[in-house]
Amino acid sequence: MQIGILYGISVGPGDRELITLKGLRILKESKVVAFPAGIGGKPGFAQQIVEQWLGSHQIQLPLSFPYVSDPVILAQAWLTAAEQVWQYLHLGQDVAFVCEGDVSFYSTFTYLSQMLQKRHPESVVQTVPGVCSPMAAASNLGIPLAVRDQRLAILPALYHVKELEIVLDWADVVVLMKVSSVYEQVWQLLDQRQLLKHTCVVERATLPEQVIYRDLRDRPSLKLPYFSLLIVKVTQS
Amino acid sequence: MQIGILYGISVGPGDRELITLKGLRILKESKVVAFPAGIGGKPGFAQQIVEQWLGSHQIQLPLSFPYVSDPVILAQAWLTAAEQVWQYLHLGQDVAFVCEGDVSFYSTFTYLSQMLQKRHPESVVQTVPGVCSPMAAASNLGIPLAVRDQRLAILPALYHVKELEIVLDWADVVVLMKVSSVYEQVWQLLDQRQLLKHTCVVERATLPEQVIYRDLRDRPSLKLPYFSLLIVKVTQS
């Protein structure tokens, strides 16, 4: 018997219509649909995005990925998840793992996939690309993310403001993902460089709850949710 | 009468199934479908991606964007295109402009849209985000583009190899779009830094003609088409 395929399906940043035709087709064709489990019994984010497409014949497989940074706990969670997925794959059933945004872009899928291939080298993994949040945020802001010869830098998280200084010296456009925890420090630096006028923040891009802030000069502090990103246009286009 | 909306619709990097549900819905609902005209009477690239979805009731509007760098000639072409689009918008008809990749990511749509809004400030523009080629290339390579705290840099074109040196000192992952014209110089530099093993090239990502090169140590020269990109994993993940 042939083993099943693990598909990593990008479902986009939140708007349910931003899944691709290919992602939706494979999602519907898969016997098992896996996703990161939600917190406190609530459905997870990727699960919410695709729930309208799931059929009663499909098995839903929530996988537990704890929100911690301890590498031992994380590795154990990925191992458990990989074995849960393998239980279906080795019976010849395809598993579609759905993840918000794009599957190649800072995605939990990478860890699941790497652990599966380490434990079961015979496994087959395929991915479907999708809409990542910087593209979606730019679209909803009504601005290009980058044009012509502009250099684009994307920072997933910021540990030292010094890093941002280096990037601002080099790039024409800078995207900071997950900016909430460092927003005030970032604001100070952008203020010093007189870039606040050319900076935007997008909370929960493409969701009905989306909030947009343009021109941050009057916003030295903002209470932002986890899914918030900041775009600095260092060079004007 | 209400004026029509100009939609910028991202149709993805080539695979026809990589349009989003939203993009396809708006495409089908629009009276007029515009796209960059092809060369020598051939259909344009974005036009080819969507042609299977176009109905006989829809007006197809090829717009001419010459492949030159002269800003005067380009501005004239954008002006002409903006006026062609406006002819339909001011009659209340929506126009869907389709563009390959993502509409916010180094797209011709930006120029058309900016010119339209300059000439007709009352015009209304909306965009639908999509799959950009770096995400699609990573997906087809079977690698994550970026994970964890990796810093990602995207260079649309390279005018001086010095620029690449700066970015290699700073980023964990570097994407060079349109790498064909500078490939040999880039290869030399990556060779000096012993990064060729961790570098891939993808030609025409997601198309049936897609070609992938992994580990470039034995490839000091490559004859690449225009739609080729290179991904350097400076830091191993």
A1 pLDDT above the threshold of 90: no
> With a CB-CB cutoff of 8 Å, which residues 103-122 of chain A face chain B?
103-107, 110-111
Return the residue in B5, B9, B19, B20 with the most chain A beta carbons within 10 A, the one to mutate for interface testing: B20
Q: Which CATH class is domain B5-128?
A: alpha beta
In single-letter form, the type of residue at position B150 comes to Q
CATH topology of domain A133-233: 3.30.950
User: Which residues, in sequence order, are CB contacts of B127 under 8 Å at separation 6+?
Assistant: A139, A142, B7, B8, B9, B10, B103, B104, B109
CB–CB contact A144 B110 (8 Å): yes
Instruction: Please tell me the predicted confidence (pLDDT) of residue B222.
Output: 96
Q: Are A222 and A201 in contact (CB under 8 A)?
A: yes
CB–CB contact A129 B149 (8 Å): no
Q: Does B160 touch chain A (CB under 8 A)?
A: no
- What's the whole-number mean pLDDT along residues A218-222? 97
Residues of chain B found within 8 Å of residue A102, distances taken between Cβ atoms: 131, 135, 145
Q: Which residue in B has a C-alpha nearest to residue A178's C-alpha?
A: B149
Instruction: Please tell me the predicted confidence (pLDDT) of residue A100.
Output: 97
Confidence of residue B38 (pLDDT cuts 50, 70, 90): very high
Instruction: Please tell me the predicted confidence (pLDDT) of residue B161.
Output: 82
User: Which residues, in sequence order, are CB contacts of B118 under 8 Å at separation 6+?
Assistant: none
A vs B, Cβ pairs < 8 A, gives 163
Q: Are A14 and A49 in contact (CB under 8 A)?
A: yes
Residues of chain A found within 8 Å of residue B182, distances taken between Cβ atoms: none
| Backbone dihedral region for residue B106 (phi beyond 0: left; psi -120 to 50: alpha; all else: beta) | left
Q: Does A168 touch chain B (CB under 8 A)?
A: no
Q: Does B17 touch chain A (CB under 8 A)?
A: yes
Confidence of residue A237 (pLDDT cuts 50, 70, 90): confident
CB–CB contact B139 A128 (8 Å): yes
Q: Does A207 touch chain B (CB under 8 A)?
A: no
Q: Does A234 touch chain B (CB under 8 A)?
A: no
- What's the whole-number mean pLDDT along residues A67-80? 93
Domain positions in chain B are 5-128, 133-233
Tokens in use for B35? Answer: 């796209």
Return the residue in A11, A50, A105, A163 with the most chain B beta carbons within 10 A, the one to mutate for interface testing: A105
Confidence of residue B1 (pLDDT cuts 50, 70, 90): confident
The CA distance from A162 to A121, in Å, is 41
Instruction: Please tell me the predicted confidence (pLDDT) of residue A67.
Output: 84
**Length of chain A, in residues:** 237
Q: Does A129 touch chain B (CB under 8 A)?
A: yes
What is residue A161's three-state secondary structure?
Answer: helix
Q: What is the DSSP string of B110-153?
A: HHHHHHHHHH-TT-EEEEE----HHHHHHHHHTS-SB-TT--EE
Q: Does A219 touch chain B (CB under 8 A)?
A: no
Instruction: Please tell me the predicted confidence (pLDDT) of residue B162.
Output: 86
Please give the ipTM for the structure prediction: 0.96
Q: Does A167 touch chain B (CB under 8 A)?
A: yes
Q: Are A193 and A169 in contact (CB under 8 A)?
A: no
The CA distance from A95 to B111, in Å, is 42
Tokens in use for A209? Answer: 């709850």
Q: Does B65 touch chain A (CB under 8 A)?
A: no
Q: Does A162 touch chain B (CB under 8 A)?
A: no
Return the residue in A140, A152, A165, A173 with the most chain B beta carbons within 10 A, the one to mutate for interface testing: A152
- Lowest mean pLDDT segment, chosen from B26-40, B119-133, B145-159: B145-159
B211, with CB counted inside 10 A (0-12, 13-18, 19+), is middle
- What's the whole-number mean pLDDT along residues B156-168? 85
CB–CB contact A156 B135 (8 Å): no
Instruction: Please tell me the predicted confidence (pLDDT) of residue B205.
Output: 95
Q: Sheet holding B173-176: strands in order across?
A: A211-214, A199-203, A228-233, A173-176, A152-155, B152-155, B173-176, B228-233, B199-203, B211-214
Residues of chain B found within 8 Å of residue A142, distances taken between Cβ atoms: 125-127
B47 pLDDT above the threshold of 80: yes
The pTM of this model reads 0.96
HSE, side-chain direction, 13 A CA sphere, residue A150 = 23
CB–CB contact B129 A107 (8 Å): no
Average pLDDT, chain B: 95
Q: What percent of chain A has pLDDT over 90?
A: 90
Instruction: Please tell me the predicted confidence (pLDDT) of residue A68.
Output: 87
- What's the whole-number mean pLDDT along residues A124-147? 97
What DSSP state is assigned to residue B156? S
